């Protein structure tokens, strides 16, 4: 059975268009509630959201759907996705629910779920929910309806958790840090985390109005942070996305570091402390230079499908702790059960403060291969897999690269785009190759 509604990270789309409509979201919550009640008599779910204006409407629909199935609801208000995962586990709830479309613009929104352990749920659970959606509703009677309440100081509890992942013997005193929260879920949390650890903090992207989430700020638009770091002579810049589960960082020179580099830096810090790092999980998109550098350190490297849930599956399969994506989804399973932009940033700052070294010094030994990624928007009804010229042109380009690069073509799980990536030891070859394949897609 294939999934109809669930993508790589929950259910996502444009608000007001199926499936992101209040009637469907109510039915979805009712179906999820019925699945929960198969194993638990009185389940409790936590609901958090980002700062999109549509979050109010979808929150109400979820609350009604869960209550109608006899499930209690705890409302957390605006909170990063990893914060919902943490509180779900800490509060011993049955399920965590996040209303967010992550890095997408404000007209989009979505619903994603976390298990009682604070982890992404398996494909089979999503299939069970989709099967329940096809069944007629079974409304609870009045005496069995669920109740709803708000959790006081959800943000404060999560702030304390984040701070606990930073080494107790270290401090950020004397540091000036720029924080860009993408006008998203961490707007009232990220600045406090770094300030309470001793840093002088100044903010951009911390004034949400319901419509400006991810707009020219945040991890998907890091140029705003680069400019802010340079203009304010900051020591570090930290950029999160709309739901704060991904991270990009900037150093004092204004150099931007992506998830691949940050993952490598965290591995090197663990090794420097004498910790054993048997292996690391990346994705099909992870830069080849990271894989080569890790193998030189006798650290095994495995590639998962794109998506942090698949990175997590591989980490659990091997019993490893560290993994991530170039986009900034980073997993430190000895610190948190899911990807967390704030926790990941604190691990990088841990390494810099402990060693007294700069990020470039900590990244000695790895120089990323140039990559060009082009997102080709697909037209309605366009089936890129039927483009007969694309496989031939791809094979031709791979032969030209002759082992000195890679080609990766994949459809996005969250947007109607085809991602065309070419990696090569020469930047011009990567750019020209990607443009060539993108043009074949557009023509097809």
Which structure tokens are listed for 243?
A: 């739901």
Catalytic residues: 102
- The length of the chain is 444
**Are the C-beta atoms of 36 and 93 separated by less than 8 Å?**
no
**Are the C-beta atoms of 252 and 229 separated by less than 8 Å?**
yes
What is the SS3 assignment for the chain? CCCCCCECCEEEEECCCCCCCHHHHHHHHHHHHHHHCCCCCCCEEEEEECCCCCHHHHHHHHHHHHHHCCCEEEEEEECCHHHHHHHHHHCCCCEEEEECCCCCCCCEEEEEEECCCCCECCHHHHHHHHHHHCCCCCCCCHHHCCCEEECCCHHHHHHHHHHHCCCCCCCCCCCEEEEECCCCCCCCCHHHHHHHCCCEEEEECCCCCCCCCCCCCCCCCCHHHHHHHHHHCCCEEEEECCCCCCEEEEECCCCEECHHHHHHHHHHHHHHCCCCCCEEEEECCCCHHHHHHHHHCCCEEEEECCCHHHHHHHHHHHCCCEEECCCCCEEECCCCCCCCHHHHHHHHHHHHHHHCCCHHHHCCCCCCCCEEEEEEECCCCCCHHHCCHHHHHHHHHHHHHCCCEEEEEEECCCCCEEEEEEEECCHHHHHHHHHHHHHHHHHC
Strand 247-251 and strand 256-257: pairing? Answer: antiparallel
Q: Which residues pair with 376 in a beta bridge?
A: 418
For residue 184, give the nearest of 149, 160, 210, 163 by alpha carbon: 210
Alpha carbon distances (Å) from 249 to 115, 218, 234, 301: 29, 10, 12, 23
Q: Which residues pair with 109 in a beta bridge?
A: 13
């Amino acid at each position: 059975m294939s999934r109809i509604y669930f993508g790589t990270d929950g259910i996502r789309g444009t608000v007001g268009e199926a499936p992101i409509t209040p009637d469907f979201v109510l039915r979805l919550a009712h179906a999820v509630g019925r699945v929960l009640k198969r194993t638990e008599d009185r389940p409790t779910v936590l609901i958090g959201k980002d700062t999109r204006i549509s979050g109010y409407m979808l929150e109400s629909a979820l609350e009604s759907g869960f209550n109608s199935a006899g499930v209690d609801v705890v409302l957390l208000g605006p909170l990063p996705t990893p914060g919902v995962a943490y509180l779900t586990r800490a509060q011993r709830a049955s399920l965590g629910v996040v209303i967010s479309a992550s890095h997408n613009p404000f007209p989009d929104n979505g619903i994603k779920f976390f298990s009682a352990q604070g982890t992404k749920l398996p494909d089979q659970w999503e299939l069970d929910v989709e099967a329940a959606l096809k069944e007629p509703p079974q409304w609870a009677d009045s005496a069995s309806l669920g109740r709803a309440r708000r959790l006081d100081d959800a943000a404060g509890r999560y702030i304390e958790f984040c701070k606990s992942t930073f080494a107790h013997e270290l401090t950020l005193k004397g540091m000036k840090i720029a924080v860009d929260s993408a006008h998203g879920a961490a707007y009232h949390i990220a600045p406090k985390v770094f300030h309470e650890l001793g840093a002088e903090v100044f903010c951009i992207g911390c004034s949400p109005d319901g419509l400006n989430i991810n707009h020219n700020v945040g991890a998907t638009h890091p140029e705003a942070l680069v400019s802010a770091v340079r203009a304010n002579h900051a020591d570090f810049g930290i950029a999160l996305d709309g739901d704060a589960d991904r991270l990009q960082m900037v150093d004092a020179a204004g150099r931007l570091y992506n998830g691949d580099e940050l993952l490598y830096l965290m591995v090197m810090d663990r090794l420097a402390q004498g910790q054993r790092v048997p292996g690391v999980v990346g994705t099909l998109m992870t830069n080849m230079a990271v894989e080569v550098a890790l193998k030189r350190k006798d650290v095994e490297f495995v590639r998962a499908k794109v998506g942090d849930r698949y990175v997590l599956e591989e980490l659990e399969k091997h019993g490893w702790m560290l993994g991530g994506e170039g986009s900034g989804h980073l997993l430190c399973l000895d610190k948190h059960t899911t990807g967390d932009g704030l926790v990941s940033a604190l691990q990088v700052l841990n390494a810099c403060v402990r060693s007294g070294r700069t990020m470039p010094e900590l990244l000695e030994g790895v120089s990323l291969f140039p990559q060009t990624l082009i997102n080709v928007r697909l037209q309605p009804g366009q089936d890129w897999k039927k483009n007969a010229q694309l496989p031939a042109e791809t094979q031709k380009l791979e032969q030209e690269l002759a082992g000195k690069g890679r080609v990766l073509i994949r459809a996005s799980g969250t947007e109607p785009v085809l991602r065309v990536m070419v990696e090569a030891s020469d930047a011009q070859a990567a750019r020209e190759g990607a443009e060539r394949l993108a043009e074949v897609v557009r023509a097809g």
